[in-house]
Amino acid sequence: MPLITIQNSGKTIEVETGKSLLAAVLAAGESILHKCDGKAECGSCHISVKEGRKTLSKTQRLENEKLDSIVGVSSNSRLACQALVGTENITVELLSFV
């Protein structure tokens, strides 16, 4: 199983392939906003993927549209609720806090 490292806290957790980054971060006991319950409607779970971006699921239309409306988006930006874990390790930075 791949490992996810959360830069903000230094935590590293093992995660099942196919699980969303949002679910993984919450399972690790980290706080991250997620106002729309994972529907890509609010953008509050905006994160930066520092390593392993290519192993994540591809960005879909709804996620792209929401990212286009958020200030501070970069090429490493994803919505944690929409990014599904692949087979390689990932390092993320949480950009929103509860």
- Res. 91 pLDDT band, cuts 50 70 90: very high
Considering the chain, what percentage of its residues have pLDDT values greater than 90? 86
pLDDT tens, position by position, 41-73 = 999 999 999 999 999 999 999 999 999 999 889
pLDDT value at residue 97: 53
Q: Is the pLDDT of residue 88 over 90?
A: yes
3-state SS assignment for residue 90: strand
